[in-house]
Amino acid sequence: MRFVIALVISFALVWLCAKPLKKHPVPFYLGAIALLGLYFWGTATSVRNEVWAYFQPLMQRCALAFLLFSIVMFVGVLGERNPLRVHLMPIRRQLSILACIFACGHIAFYASSYVPRLASAFTGNLAFSLGLAALITALMVVLWATSAQRVKHTMKAASWKRGQRLAYPFYVLTYVHLALLLMPSAMAGNNVAVLSIAVYSIVMGAYVVLRLRKAAADRLAEPAAAASDLDLEAAPA
């Protein structure tokens, strides 16, 4: 239950901070880095208290990063007049950057656990897990770099759009990675892991449905737009 409460609180903070995040993103980036430092310190010193019980899963399980990535992805498939889209669309880039910063905590934690095992235990499962994680990390780096305004302005529009389309495989593979990561604990009866997988699966399922619905609506709109253009061309001057 703590996991769900932490996600709800995180989303509420995103909603409330949308305007200042748009106007002054740098303090938020620095705050995210500070939280990352707090997570590393708390992990190293084995902190145990009620606040940590809410905070630690958000960072270690990449839940906060996944929440922010999910907001970015969902905003793109909602209707033009949807209140969520109207309110959050202006901060998609900033949320993407924050998500990448928070994801670094998850990457560093598991890299420190699994990379040292490569020399002695390079099994099929470990190789697959690390290979998938490496692919996701590479996609995240590309998306992170192209989210920067300076990088965007140096790229052609078509190239930038192609790069941004990598967000689709990145998002799906992130879900697969997190689900596989939590599956052993879930199968062992860990309630937090079971709940985490359930939440991730519901979010991903909802996104896939909305994405397919939007794609179908866009295909239907194309002939109508083409017919409208023909009508305008045929109209007398």
DSSP string, 18-82: HHHHHH-HHHHHHHHHHHHHHHHHHHHTT--SHHHHHHHHHHHT-HHHHHHHHHHHHHTTS-TT-
Under DSSP, the state recorded for 49 is S
Which pLDDT band holds residue 224 (cuts at 50, 70, 90)? low
The per-residue pLDDT for range 173-188, each reduced to its tens digit, is 999 988 888 888 888 9
Q: Give, in order, the Cα–Cα distances in Å from 21 to each of 59, 148, 184.
A: 20, 15, 38
Q: For the chain, how many helices (H) and strands (E)?
A: 12, 0
Please tell me which residue, 50 or 98, carries the higher pLDDT value. Answer: 98
pTM value?
0.83
Is residue 32 within 8 Å of residue 104, measured between CB atoms? no
Does residue 29 carry a pLDDT above 90? yes
Question: What values do phi and psi take at 81, rounded to 5?
Answer: -100, 5
Averaged pLDDT for residues 81-109: 90
Q: Which tokens is 128 given? A: 């697959």
- Tens digits of per-residue pLDDT, 158-175? 888 888 889 999 999 999
189: tokens are 């009866």
Would you state the structure tokens that stand for residue 94, as one six-digit string? 């900033």
User: 65-74, 92-101, 110-119, 131-140: which range is least confident on average?
Assistant: 110-119
Tokens of 104: 């670094």
Q: What's the full length of the chain, in residues?
A: 237
